[in-house]
Structures are given as structure tokens and as C-alpha cells.
Amino acid sequence: MLLSLVLHTYSMRYVLPAAVMMGTAPTYMLAWGAWRLLSAVLPARFYREVDDRLYTIYQSMVLFFFENYTGVQVIIYGDLPKNKENVIYLSNHQCTVDWIIADMLAIRQNALGHVRYVLKDGLKWLPLYGWYFSQHGGVYVKRSAKFNEKEMREKLRAQMKAETPMYLVIFPEGTRYNPEIPKVIADSQSFAEKEGLAILKHVLTPRVKATHVAIDSMKDYLDAVYDVTVAYEGTVDHKGQRKLAPSMTEFLCKECPRVHIFIDRIDLKDIPEEQMYMRRWLHERFEIKDKLLIEFYDAKDSKRRNKFPGKSVHSKLSLKKTLPSLLFLGGLTASMLLTESGRKLYVKTWIYGTLIGCLWVSIKP
């Protein structure tokens, strides 16, 4: 009985945040949908401005749980500019929390509403969220031979035409680095060896297609590329072997005490334009990531582990940036659920919003 109580208490650490974040989704979609209809006759720029503000509200609420609620320490290394920019954000990929890390950096630049993702195609079927990510400027891509370059270029050009601020997040590895699936790591290393590229230990061999299309399509629109390396403290077992990075559930259960984020801001002029040369450049950037992660996980001197080299800043997110959004969305959702008509509308939004979204993304990517 005592064990059951302990397990129940543990599970509640993520149940409440998850319930609030998922529970406010229909409220958010109703507000966004109303604006989408009202702005149909307006220039795309006006729709984007309000959409970015709405997205900022929702993601600020998300960050309340992932930062303020968990109490995680965010440690930043390198050169994160204070001002917002039009950028491509390239990062290593190891878990779903990596999506939230991009938000953590963006909110510190007052650019949270500008975050848009390049996502694998299967995620477009997520209820409500899949459709909305596309409407917010996200790009769904298929892997390898099924990658549709023309489709991605057209979407990015449409964003530029609408003067959409861009904080485009790309995970060039194409899938997560998972120590529990050694075959994926081995295949990645074999491919690198076959292609005459350096073999990487703590990251997978990056794929260049999406990165090249994004940079090439927006080279006159972007200010910089952010090369971001992320490490989650507490992901090494008692034998010193790397473990799986925390899932969102584990993160919300406060299993990650500190997140280390290394940012390298790269000027566009320092990036090759030809895909063949950009591929080599991207792999070299991942070699740098790998060296940082080897230092973080495997340094012979234990005092050098669990941190990146160089100066760091412990960056604490103020409640002023997150709590108002939680109260606003939570209050709207609660008021809707207090009435019978509100509850019916809430349920219908989940059902019909999901169906319409799936139909939309199946017809128009």
C-alpha cells in the first residue's frame, strides 16, 4: 500500500502538468481558429503577427511547467544574442524535450512566437497539434528518397513573402540518438566510414538535405545559424555509460537537475552554398558537437565532466514570463468547462478539430 502511494504521488508530478497543457489545447485552438477566420481577408503578415502572439502565450505556459515547475537549472555556454534574429537552429537530437530546449532559448531572446519546426512527416497526424504546427509555419518532411525539396522550398518562400519572423528548428540527424538502440548508432557510424567522414560517438551522422534547402532558400532573409549542442545531466549510469535522455514525462517528474546548452552563432558567409560542400561543413559542425559531448560524458578528469568547456551562465526564467499565460489559458478553459454548452464545445473541438486537421494535412501539407 505504501509503495502504491509513493508511485501514485510520483505519477502526479507529471499528470497535473500534462493535464493542463493538453487540457488547454482546445481553448487555444478555438481562439486561434477564430482569428484564422477573421484574418482570411487580411494580408498574411497580419495573421502571422497575431498567430505568433498566441503561440507565445501557449508556449510560455508550457515553459512554466518545464522550467519553473521542475526547477531545472538551465546553463548556457557560448554566444546567445540578446536580440531576436531570423535564424536556423541546428541541434543534436536525443529526446522529445529537445523541442522544449529551443523554446527555452527563444524566450530569452523574446522570440518565442517565432519558433517553427522541421518535423518528420508522421507527426502531422497528432490530434490538434499536428495541423496547427503546419499552420504556424512548420514544415513536415519525409526521409531520404521521399524528401520533397520543392514542397519545402515553396513553404519557406511563402513564409518569407509574408515577412514571417523565422526561428526554424532543424534536427539534422533525422532521428534520435538512443543508446538503447545500438543498431541505429552502428549503422550511422558505418555510413560515415563508407563516405569517408569522421565517425561520431555521441551524435549520429547528420543529413544535409533539409538544412541545405532551408539555408539556400532563405540565405538573403536569415541573420545567422545557431549551432546548438544540448546535454542533459544525470544521463550516465553507474558504469559510466550514457543512458537514454529524459522523456517529457521524466523531465516533468524532475529527473533532470540541469540542462547544459552550448550555442555557437555562425554567420551565413561562413557556410558553403553548394550542397556537397555544405554536407562536409555540417559534418564538421557535428564533429565539434561530438567533442563537446565527449568532454561532457567521458572526460578523464571527473571535475571536467557534466559541463561544457568555457564560461557559462545559470539562466533563470522569471515567473513574469510564464505564469500570466498559465493563468490566462487555465482561466479560459475552466470558465468554458463550467457550463454545459462550454463543455460540449470543448469536446467538439477535440473531435472535429482533430478530424478537420487530419483531413487538411492529408490534402495540403
Say how far apart CA 352 and CA 350 lie, in whole Å: 6
C-beta of residue 88 within 8 angstroms of C-beta of residue 315: no
Q: pLDDT, tens digit, for every residue of 141-180?
A: 987 767 888 999 999 999 999 899 999 999 999 999 999 9
209-217 and 275-298 are packed helices; what angle lies between their axes, rounded to 10 degrees? Answer: 120
pLDDT of residue 241: 85
Q: pLDDT, tens digit, for every residue of 203-251?
A: 999 999 999 999 999 999 999 999 999 999 988 887 778 999 999 999 9
Q: What percent of the chain has pLDDT over 70?
A: 96
Lowest-confidence range among 107-111, 117-121, 141-145, 321-325?
Answer: 141-145
pLDDT of residue 42: 83
Higher-confidence residue of 140 and 299: namely 140
Q: pLDDT, tens digit, for every residue of 280-332?
A: 999 999 999 999 999 999 888 877 888 999 999 999 999 999 999 999 999 99
Instruction: Select from 238, 285, 284 the least CA-distant residue to 265.
Output: 285
pLDDT band at 2, cuts 50/70/90? very low
Range 351-358 average pLDDT: 90
Say how far apart CA 267 and CA 75 lie, in whole Å: 24
pLDDT of residue 299: 82
Range 90-112 average pLDDT: 97
Range 331-346 average pLDDT: 95
pLDDT of residue 11: 62
* Bridging pattern class, strands 167-170 and 139-141: unpaired
> Residue 7: is its pLDDT beyond 60?
no
pLDDT of residue 300: 80
Say how far apart CA 271 and CA 266 lie, in whole Å: 8
Q: Domain locations in the chain?
A: 1-363
> Residue 3: is its pLDDT beyond 80?
no
pLDDT of residue 362: 82
Average pLDDT, the chain: 92
pLDDT of residue 5: 44
Q: pLDDT, tens digit, for every residue of 28-46?
A: 999 999 999 988 888 888 8
Range 274-281 average pLDDT: 95
pLDDT band at 75, cuts 50/70/90? very high
**Phi/psi at 89 (5° precision):** -110, 110
pLDDT of residue 10: 56
C-beta of residue 89 within 8 angstroms of C-beta of residue 169: yes
pLDDT of residue 145: 67
